[in-house]
A and B are shown apart, each in its own frame.
Chain A
Amino acid sequence: MTAASPPEVLRAPLVVEFPFTRSLGPVQSAFLTGLRESVVLGVKTSDGRVVVPPVEYDPVTSEEIRDLVEVAATGTVTTWAWNDRPRPNQPLGTPFAWALVKLDGADTALLHALDAPGPDAVRTGMRVRVRWAAERTGAITDIACFEPYEDAPDAPAPAPGAGPAPHDGVFEDAVTGIVAEARLDYVYSPGRAQTAYINALSEQRTVGERCPSCHKVYVPPRGACPTCGVATTDQVEVGPAGTVTTFCIVNIKAKNLDIEVPYVYAHIALDGAGLALHGRIGGIPYDQVRMGLRVEPVWTEGGRYPDHYRPTGEPDADYDAYKELI
């Protein structure tokens, strides 16, 4: 057993990016292509209401709905919220209002940004119009934002009964998909057990943790014994040498990895560990690696973990010595 690792918590930036490519159905395709052409389309529900932005299924009856209509690029704010500190990726970089806007001819409201000088310039019921983005690609961001449109005071909603005109939804070169970019930034902190493991690695030692109930030594430790459901607490230094329990031969070069193929990737039970970890085997032709081979870690200058494992030259381990760890 070794002394407990220093208590300071490790932290590192963690970036998760997931640019989903999504296909559009006929209704969303028409709507987003329409935005590219400065046309706003809605869809008629079974009971004749006009939904903007349009959906493919009736929100009440779940019926498929496909009757498109063209609505105006002007409308009325139904509710709003003043955003003094815009966050990354939001439509405007200067303070703005989020607004739900019922476009003239629509029965439902669309969410977007409203560019206004300040909260005193915004109210529910105010008239606004679409400000189109200079470059449009067929996305909701083709609407750059809304802007006040008060010079035609509170009036020209279309006459009741007229209703918006039908639209066939057909455009040249229709948009059929979008790429939904997303990036989230985190600060990763690995917790007590893994912090101790990583700190020991920086001293070229491998430290696992023993379960106080079943005495199995977990390497790397995650803080709990999955068999007993209790915290692993006792730190145990294992290795440095170990035994190859099983392996595979890699024949395909990995992207951004400067290792000649073929090479061997193996499960290695470090001496004293209750389960195998994995690592690359070097210093021996790939076709001579075998179960039971005794190996030791090879560290490179400044490496935070062993670069690979090489044979120790000891006789192979007995199968019985590692069969429970395969």
Chain B
Amino acid sequence: MTGPRTSRYARDVAVVAFAQSDHLRRTDELSEVEMVMPVLHEVLAATGLKAGEIGFTCSGSSDYLAGRAFSFTMTLDGVGAWPPISESHVEMDGAWALYEAWVKIQTGEADTALVYSYGKSSPGSVRDVLTRQLDPYYLAPLWPDSVALAALQAQALIDAGETDEPALAAIAARSRADAGTNPHAQLRGAVPQGDYQVRPLRTGDCPPVGDGVAAVVLAAGDLARQLCERPAWITGIDHRIEAHGLGLRDLTDSPSTRTAAQHAGFFDAPVDTAELHAPFSSQEVVLRKALGLGDTVAVNPSGGALAANPMMAAGLIRIGEAAARIHRGASDRAVAHATSGPCLQQNLVAVLEGDRA
């Protein structure tokens, strides 16, 4: 066995297990910890590790989604956090929790990490909830919802000649068709494009709203090889952010994705798979351009966020899905992307590679 082809960091760290819930429109019968716990048990069982053997635990979630203050402390009950464990939380997508855990392992303070994230959007109205992440002086008082902001971006792309409505519909259709083989996806198969939600985006261009959970286990070096037959080595990971003012940005491009990809070594070699966190069909157009993805790359073979978009988990799922393809030998080099904020404001890029025979 050889190690990952490029090692730009102090320690080789891999995703050794991934699990996710079925993503559902509602999960009223479950509290957040009841929703999270089975996924934690599944991801740990895949490695044979017990919760107490994990070096560091990091989670991602947002209290605003379900309206419950400090809800993440409740979900820690599902980890077995007493006696106290080494633990942290980000009020972000779990992809950024993974980044923190990866840094923790790089420092040598842990050899393994459990990363999980969850979103329970069903109790509230996620389009309105997300307005609360906007600049409180100039934007939040206008309550521009997440679909409206994505629609502004889509129109900018259409005006620039980068896409049109049929092309967007084709992205939506391909995503839901690919999700046909993903038992966890919320939308599978043929889904009508429907009416305009906010023109030019139709229902089919928008992600489903739902509840869901994802978890991964990270491990370093030889331990990763013991825990997983074919670890998905994180050979590069970086995240970048753009200005929060939408009018300051070129909405048809994603320079932060491109910069993160450069720093993650993405452009050093071709990839066979891309799991892109593009909740809206139009955002896949932007990300393909930023990464220069050609037709030879399988984009979102899981169905992507258009098939299941549990807030705070959908980005981590992209890393998990890319890793799972490497685990089962369907990919040798994959890129995973996660986004946060309006119109792809903040972007994380991870390059994952499997050992070659």
Contact surface of A with B, Cβ cutoff 8 Å: 7, 9, 11, 14, 16, 20, 22, 24, 28, 32, 51-53, 55, 59, 78-84, 87-91, 98-100, 102, 108-113, 119, 124, 139-141, 178, 180, 182, 184-195, 222-231
Q: State whether the Cβ of B154 lies closer than 8 Å to any Cβ in chain A.
A: yes
- Chain A nearest CB from B223 CB (Å) reads 21
Known: A100-B152, A184-B132, A222-B74. 7 other contacts (CB 8 A): A14-B123, A80-B152, A81-B198, A89-B143, A90-B145, A187-B123, A193-B31
Determine whether the beta carbon of B30 is less than 8 Å from that of A79: no
Q: What are 10 A-B pairs at a CB distance below 8 A?
A: A16-B67, A52-B247, A53-B245, A59-B245, A79-B251, A81-B199, A119-B199, A192-B29, A226-B76, A227-B83
Bound CA–CA A283/B238 (angstroms): 63
Q: Which residues of A contact B145 (CB under 8 A)?
A: 87, 90
Closest to B132 in A: A182
Determine whether the beta carbon of A91 is less than 8 Å from that of B142: yes
User: CB within 8 A of A223: which of B33, B41, B141?
Assistant: B33
Known contacts: A53-B138, A119-B199, A229-B80. The answer to whether A188 contacts B123 by CB under 8 A is yes
Determine whether the beta carbon of B156 is less than 8 Å from that of A226: no
Bound CA–CA A182/B51 (angstroms): 39
Bound CA–CA A260/B125 (angstroms): 41
Q: Which residues of B contact A231 (CB under 8 A)?
A: 34, 37
Q: Which residues of B contact A222 (CB under 8 A)?
A: 31, 33, 74, 77
Query: Interface 1/0s, chain B 226-255, versus A by CB < 8 A?
Result: 000000000000000001011110010000
User: CB within 8 A of B247: which of A14, A109, A189, A230?
Assistant: A109
Bound CA–CA A59/B82 (angstroms): 45
Bound CA–CA A166/B232 (angstroms): 57
Determine whether the beta carbon of A90 is less than 8 Å from that of B144: yes
Known contacts: A82-B199, A91-B142, A226-B80. The answer to whether A191 contacts B124 by CB under 8 A is no
Determine whether the beta carbon of A190 is less than 8 Å from that of B31: yes
Bound CA–CA A195/B129 (angstroms): 26
Known contacts: A51-B248, A186-B123, A193-B34. The answer to whether A141 contacts B141 by CB under 8 A is yes
Bound CA–CA A189/B247 (angstroms): 39
Bound CA–CA A16/B33 (angstroms): 21
Q: Which residues of B contact A193 (CB under 8 A)?
A: 31, 34
Determine whether the beta carbon of B200 is less than 8 Å from that of A81: yes
> How many residues of B sit at the interface, in one of the four size bands?
35 or more
| List of 9 A-B pairs having minimum Cβ-Cβ separation, nearest first | A229-B80, A191-B31, A81-B151, A109-B247, A82-B199, A224-B77, A186-B67, A226-B77, A79-B156
Q: Which residues of B contact A182 (CB under 8 A)?
A: 132, 140
Determine whether the beta carbon of A194 is less than 8 Å from that of B247: no
- Chain A nearest CB from B53 CB (Å) reads 12
Known contacts: A79-B251, A81-B151, A191-B29. The answer to whether A98 contacts B198 by CB under 8 A is yes
Q: Which residues of B contact A185 (CB under 8 A)?
A: 124-125
Bound CA–CA A113/B148 (angstroms): 11
Bound CA–CA A109/B196 (angstroms): 25
Known contacts: A110-B247, A112-B142. The answer to whether A228 contacts B128 by CB under 8 A is no
Q: Which residues of B contact A192 (CB under 8 A)?
A: 29-31, 34
Determine whether the beta carbon of B31 is less than 8 Å from that of A14: no
Closest to B83 in A: A227
Of B77, B156, B199, most buried by chain A (CB within 10 Å of CB) is: B77
Bound CA–CA A68/B243 (angstroms): 20
Q: State whether the Cβ of B290 lies closer than 8 Å to any Cβ in chain A.
A: no
- Chain A nearest CB from B195 CB (Å) reads 8
Of B37, B67, B83, B142, most buried by chain A (CB within 10 Å of CB) is: B142
Determine whether the beta carbon of B156 is less than 8 Å from that of A78: yes
- Chain B nearest CB from A291 CB (Å) reads 24
Determine whether the beta carbon of B33 is less than 8 Å from that of A140: no
Known contacts: A139-B141, A184-B132, A226-B81. The answer to whether A108 contacts B34 by CB under 8 A is no
Known contacts: A87-B128, A184-B64, A194-B31. The answer to whether A229 contacts B140 by CB under 8 A is no
Bound CA–CA A39/B155 (angstroms): 29
Q: Which residues of A contact B149 (CB under 8 A)?
A: 98
Determine whether the beta carbon of B248 is less than 8 Å from that of A22: no
Bound CA–CA A119/B313 (angstroms): 35
Determine whether the beta carbon of B143 is less than 8 Å from that of A178: no
- Chain A nearest CB from B155 CB (Å) reads 5
Q: Which residues of B contact A139 (CB under 8 A)?
A: 141
User: CB within 8 A of A228: which of B80, B136, B198, B251?
Assistant: B80
Determine whether the beta carbon of A88 is less than 8 Å from that of B143: yes
Known contacts: A81-B154, A98-B152, A192-B29. The answer to whether A24 contacts B137 by CB under 8 A is yes
Residues B99-142 near A (CB distance < 8 A): 123-125, 127-129, 132, 136-142
Q: State whether the Cβ of B221 lies closer than 8 Å to any Cβ in chain A.
A: no
Q: Which residues of B contact A52 (CB under 8 A)?
A: 247
Determine whether the beta carbon of B137 is less than 8 Å from that of A178: yes
Q: Which residues of B contact A191 (CB under 8 A)?
A: 29-34
Q: Which residues of B contact A186 (CB under 8 A)?
A: 66-67, 123-124
- Chain A nearest CB from B282 CB (Å) reads 11
Q: Which residues of B contact A184 (CB under 8 A)?
A: 64, 67, 124-125, 128-129, 132
- Chain B nearest CB from A113 CB (Å) reads 7
Determine whether the beta carbon of A111 is less than 8 Å from that of B142: yes
Residues B21-78 near A (CB distance < 8 A): 28-34, 37, 40-41, 51, 64, 66-68, 74, 76-78
Bound CA–CA A228/B142 (angstroms): 46
Bound CA–CA A30/B302 (angstroms): 49
Determine whether the beta carbon of B37 is less than 8 Å from that of A224: yes
Bound CA–CA A84/B143 (angstroms): 15
Determine whether the beta carbon of B247 is less than 8 Å from that of A108: yes
Known contacts: A81-B154, A108-B248. The answer to whether A87 contacts B127 by CB under 8 A is yes
Q: Which residues of B contact A140 (CB under 8 A)?
A: 137-139, 141-142
Q: Which residues of B contact A187 (CB under 8 A)?
A: 123-124
Q: Which residues of A contact B40 (CB under 8 A)?
A: 229
Bound CA–CA A244/B245 (angstroms): 56
Q: Which residues of B contact A113 (CB under 8 A)?
A: 142
- Chain B nearest CB from A41 CB (Å) reads 13
Bound CA–CA A116/B78 (angstroms): 52
Determine whether the beta carbon of B142 is less than 8 Å from that of A90: yes
Q: Which residues of A contact B247 (CB under 8 A)?
A: 52-53, 78, 100, 102, 108-111
